[in-house]
């Protein structure tokens, strides 16, 4: 953790949950029984971060799909999808 940065209670709970320990314990290493295998992409984001990202991303996506390039690429994608559906139906 960076110097001068403190964790709020929710952040501390997340750290404790992931590490299997609390701040009052002398070790941050979880017990072997508590170790679970997980993907390196298996993360938990707070809903506020997801909402914030969506508030940024959705308007940008709308701008793109309303642009000439976005409409053209959507038409091309739609045509490819229809061709694939025809092939799957055969």
Residue 60, pLDDT above cutoff 60: yes
Which DSSP string corresponds to the chain?
--TT----HHHHHHHHHHHT--TTSS--PPPGGG-----TT-----HHHHHHHHHHHHHHHHHHHHSHHHHHHHHHHHHHHHHHHHHHH-
Q: What is the pLDDT of residues 7-29, one digit of tens each?
A: 567 776 776 666 554 444 444 44
Residue with the bigger pLDDT between 16 and 5: it is 16
Q: Taking residues 37-51, report their average pLDDT.
A: 84
Q: In the chain, where are the structural domains located? A: 46-90
- pLDDT of 90 reads 79
């Amino acid at each position: 953790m960076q110097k001068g940065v403190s964790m709020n209670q929710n952040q501390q709970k997340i750290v404790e949950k992931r590490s299997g320990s609390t701040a009052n314990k002398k070790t941050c290493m979880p017990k072997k029984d508590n170790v679970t295998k997980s993907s390196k992409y298996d993360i938990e984001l707070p809903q506020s971060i997801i909402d914030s990202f969506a508030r940024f991303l959705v308007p940008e996506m709308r701008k793109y799909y309303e642009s000439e390039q976005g409409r053209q690429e959507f038409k091309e994608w739609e045509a490819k999808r229809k061709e694939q559906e025809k092939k799957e139906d055969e």
